[in-house]
Structure 1
Amino acid sequence: MKVKLFLGKLAIAILGAAIAILLFVLFVDKKESVVIVPDGRTTQLTNHSVNTAPQIDLTYAAEMSVKSVVHVKTLYSNDEYQSNPFYDFLFGENGRSQQPKASVGSGSGVIISTDGYIVTNNHVVEGSKLISVVLYDKREYEGKLIGQDPYTDLALIKIDEKDLPKMDLGNSDDIKLGEWVLAVGNPFNLTSTVTAGIISAKARNLGLNGNRMSIESFLQTDAAVNPGNSGGALVDTRGHLIGINTAIESRTGSYSGYSFAIPVTIVEKVIGDLKEFGEVQRAFIGVSIRTVDANLADEFNINKIEGVYVADLNEGGAAEEAGIKKGDIILNVEGKDVNSSAELQEQVSKYHPGDKITVLIKREDEKQQIAVILRNRLGNTKVIKSDDLAFLGADFEPVSSQDKYRLQINRGVRVTNLRSGKLKNEGIKEGFIIYKINETPIYKVDDVKNALQNVKDGGVFISGIYPDGSVKYYAFSLRSKE
């Protein structure tokens, strides 16, 4: 009896187990995952993410670049230290109001060759009587000014030394928004200072110089830059130079989040010209342009917002000779897209007069490639050298403070040693004081050369005064006949 009872209960248990298994197979969701977790690990099935972002190490770039950045110290006399738009942008227009007779300045520079060539900003050394260069290891040298270009705010200086730690050049065209960069310089005389940030924007035109000849296509970064950083290096994560730190946007004169650097593609061309020719061989395409935006597109029924609009052409200029027409849209230069005046200037500035470049334009919605032979400021393709002022047939000297006071002028250079040349042919006499060429005020001898680089269509209009107080004006053309 007990055996039969036991067997009955066992049969019921087996039947119940079979029913449970059947119900499991029929009703449990077969999509449910079964996870086997090895010992020592935990697994989270929801909201799980893996951080795969690369870790940026800037220590190598910092270590390499600080050795190539120098401290540039300058000495000025009060008469020579004239107003400079880049200085005013940093410090305000009252920055020089209470200067002593001798003023000192401070900036940075970058060694670009082992034999002592150093690039810096023009506004760091402009008008200085003495340039002193202090290396990373505290050695100090007198710097010689090789050349300067106010239109890009770059200058080249040289020290007499060998085996210096030069900085390799990068490619600012290839740098992308968001890439990490370092700013290296000497802010507030704090030597060998390194700050980090990212590329915030490219091809910024700030209008600092206010001169139509100026080239501004800045790299914008949020790396901290302050007074004293000017002329220092903007480097990539490999420690390669991609820009020369030049300006900050600030209401206080100190860093407030925006800083700007001249891209190395411009630097390399300008410094190469200064080293070889003594001045920049500036190439011109000969167009006046407008950025294509929504308003322009609506005005001229342009179906796509891209490129730059050719608003006008210089008569006999490179673009006109090549067949570019008013109303064309320039899309790229040598394969590099251009969508603003700054971008077009930057691309053209890489070339020399006489170089042939390919320009992609759009005309009536049809694209075509046009070959353009670039020209110099005089309208030809010849090299312009530093001694090209010899054609004027005169030397120039500063005007004394006494003569300025007597004649009630605040600037000017005096014509001396007049000989056969352009000035004599136009009737200018020795002793004439030039205080303006076209719209450029003349404060020092170098301003004469710089002003002649800014002539339009070769025309020169000189304003000045003779020692007896008589004001005279002279006009002539620089354009040579080919």
Structure 2
Amino acid sequence: MNDDRPTRRRVLAATGAGLVGAVAGCSAPSGTSSIEGGPTRDIDRDNTADGSSFTEVYESIIDSVTQVRVFGVSDPLTDDEGRGQGSGFLYDENHLVTNDHVVADGEEVDLQYINGDWTGTRLVGTDYFSDLAVLEVDHAPDDATPLSLSDERPVVGQEVLAIGNPYGLEGSMSKGIVSGIERSVNAPDRQFSFPDVVQTDAAVNPGNSGGPLVDLDGNVVGVVHAGGGNNIGFAISAALADRVVPTLIDDGEYDHSYLGIGLLSVDRIVAEENGLEAATGVAVTDIVSGGPADGVLEGATSTVERRGEPIPVGGDVIFEIDGEPIPDRHALATHLALETSPDETVEISLWRDGSETTESLTLGTRSR
């Protein structure tokens, strides 16, 4: 990253309050934008069921989950002209976490808590590469307490709850399990993948984006990112959010490590064509000119066609980074996201020209 490129925080500061209000949705001065509401859930009804342990989790955190309403954009998911919506949750007393894609390009952003209260916001920072954003809130109800990011890595089979506002249906909850971990999911422009994504079979629909995926202790396992259909949903992991969100609060932006390579997970066919003893690792298919790997790593020198697909031959195959195994592209993305930072030098163990070797590489910063 060029030293003279202004940070997002400096850009926001330089534009003044008027533009910040237009981008972030500060609809009134701080301290005057809270409007109380009347939630239907506070109506005293007879003959209500006892609920379950899931009800207890829901009741313990629902006051901290908000509906996010974004004005000035067209929402392709709801066909709502000039308006989009999603979910978010309190990260600390003053800040709310949601998705970058929920608030991106919005002119105004309002939040409504489950108790009916409304509040204005200011944009603090966004990160396109993790799909995370932070808003500063003017007001939080007394019962709304910050949610904790889980300090444990999720495991497949773990029960989780997705809480948010699918299709604008406020305060909804769905139950499922963690059905996959350490996924990398293609971004809409397919120029990169979101790293360290948690997969779940809990129902996730438009409007859930930005809401919490929680464990049965109410800790946030992930920030809901998208529904993939066919009972597959995705969430940005708490581990990645724990790295990105504090930096967004402090600096308004977050820098991601960048290798500058094209890559392909090694399967049996790739292993056979490159003389590998095992189908593991990441094949370097090409090198981005001028990127961190340029002059350090080697891309494929040719391709062969197997089963109608081009198979890279002759390039490096990455096995380890700093001693940690890299069995596939998902592991590579997770390692770069959670264990490295730009300008760090890493040791890469790889297969080149029929033998193992090691190269030192200084990571760059990913740019959009």
CA distance 1:243–1:358, shift in 2 (3 Å) = farther
Aligned to 2:96, which of 118, 130, 135? Answer: 118
| Cα shift at 1:273 | 3.1
Question: SS of the residue aligned with 2:333?
Answer: helix
Q: Is the 8 A contact 1:223 1:259 kept in 2?
A: yes
Aligned counterpart, 2:146: 166
| Cα shift at 1:371 | 4.7
CA distance 1:177–1:121, shift in 2 (3 Å) = same
Aligned counterpart, 2:71: 75
Question: Counterparts of 1:287 and 1:206 in 2: how far apart (Å)?
Answer: 17
Counterparts of residues 92-103 of structure 1 (less than 5 Å): 96=79, 100=81, 103=82
| Cα shift at 1:166 | 0.9
Question: Counterparts of 2:348 and 2:55 in 1: how far apart (Å)?
Answer: 41
Gaps of at least 5 residues in structure 2 are: 1-51, 300-314
Counterparts of residues 158-237 of structure 1 (less than 5 Å): 158-161=136-139, 164-171=144-151, 174-237=153-216
Question: Counterparts of 1:148 and 1:205 in 2: how far apart (Å)?
Answer: 20
Question: Counterparts of 2:346 and 2:138 in 1: how far apart (Å)?
Answer: 38
Question: Counterparts of 1:72 and 1:166 in 2: how far apart (Å)?
Answer: 17
Tell me which amino acid in the other structure corresponds to 2:65. Answer: V
Superposition TM-score, scaled by structure 2 size: 0.71
| Cα shift at 1:106 | 2.0
Aligned counterpart, 2:38: none
| Cα shift at 1:206 | 4.2
CA distance 1:333–1:275, shift in 2 (3 Å) = farther
CA distance 1:297–1:268, shift in 2 (3 Å) = same
Residue 285 (structure 2) pairs with residue 297 (structure 1): no
Counterparts of residues 318-329 of structure 1 (less than 5 Å): 318-320=292-294, 323-326=296-299, 327-329=315-317
Q: Is the 8 A contact 2:240 2:337 kept in 1?
A: yes
Question: Counterparts of 2:293 and 2:247 in 1: how far apart (Å)?
Answer: 24
Aligned counterpart, 1:127: 105
Gaps of at least 5 residues in structure 1 are: 1-55, 82-86, 251-255, 378-452, 455-482
Query: What is the CA deviation profile of residues 160-193 of structure 1, one whole-angstrom value per residue up to 9, with x for unaligned ones?
Result: 3477511111146x21111111111122333222
Question: Counterparts of 1:224 and 1:131 in 2: how far apart (Å)?
Answer: 25
Counterparts of residues 330-341 of structure 1 (less than 5 Å): 330-334=318-322, 336-341=324-329
CA distance 1:374–1:150, shift in 2 (3 Å) = same
Q: Is the 8 A contact 1:207 1:216 kept in 2?
A: no
Aligned to 1:148, which of 126, 132, 140? Answer: 126
Aligned counterpart, 1:108: 87
Question: SS of the residue aligned with 1:347?
Answer: helix
Residue 288 (structure 2) pairs with residue 310 (structure 1): no
Question: Counterparts of 1:118 and 1:355 in 2: how far apart (Å)?
Answer: 30
CA distance 1:335–1:112, shift in 2 (3 Å) = farther
Question: SS of the residue aligned with 2:285?
Answer: strand
Question: Counterparts of 2:324 and 2:58 in 1: how far apart (Å)?
Answer: 31
The answer to which of 233-242 and 368-377 deviates more is: 368-377
CA distance 1:229–1:357, shift in 2 (3 Å) = same
Higher strand share: 2
**RCO (CA 8 Å, sep 6+): is it higher in 1 or 2?**
2
Aligned counterpart, 1:470: none
Aligned to 2:117, which of 139, 143, 154? Answer: 139
Question: Counterparts of 2:359 and 2:55 in 1: how far apart (Å)?
Answer: 46
Aligned counterpart, 2:227: 248
Share of identical aligned residues, percent?
28
Q: Cα RMSD (Å) of the superposition? A: 2.9
Query: What is the CA deviation profile of residues 238-259 of structure 1, one whole-angstrom value per residue up to 9, with x for unaligned ones?
Result: 2211211121123xxxxx4111
Q: Is the 8 A contact 2:280 2:328 kept in 1?
A: no
Question: Counterparts of 1:335 and 1:73 in 2: how far apart (Å)?
Answer: 45
Question: SS of the residue aligned with 1:269?
Answer: helix
CA distance 1:357–1:58, shift in 2 (3 Å) = farther
Residue 60 (structure 2) pairs with residue 64 (structure 1): yes
Q: How many residue pairs align between the two structures?
A: 299
| Cα shift at 1:283 | 1.8
Query: What is the CA deviation profile of residues 333-375 of structure 1, one whole-angstrom value per residue up to 9, with x for unaligned ones?
Result: 4565433334322321233322344544445676666554322
Superposition TM-score, scaled by structure 1 size: 0.56
Larger radius of gyration: 1
Q: Is the 8 A contact 2:125 2:251 kept in 1?
A: no
Aligned to 1:343, which of 331, 336, 339? Answer: 331
Question: Counterparts of 1:161 and 1:334 in 2: how far apart (Å)?
Answer: 45
Query: What is the CA deviation profile of residues 393-430 of structure 1, one whole-angstrom value per residue up to 9, with x for unaligned ones?
Result: xxxxxxxxxxxxxxxxxxxxxxxxxxxxxxxxxxxxxx
Aligned counterpart, 1:376: 365
CA distance 1:367–1:62, shift in 2 (3 Å) = farther
Question: Counterparts of 1:211 and 1:272 in 2: how far apart (Å)?
Answer: 27
| Cα shift at 1:324 | 4.3
Aligned counterpart, 1:258: 232
Tell me which amino acid in the other structure corresponds to 1:71. Answer: Q
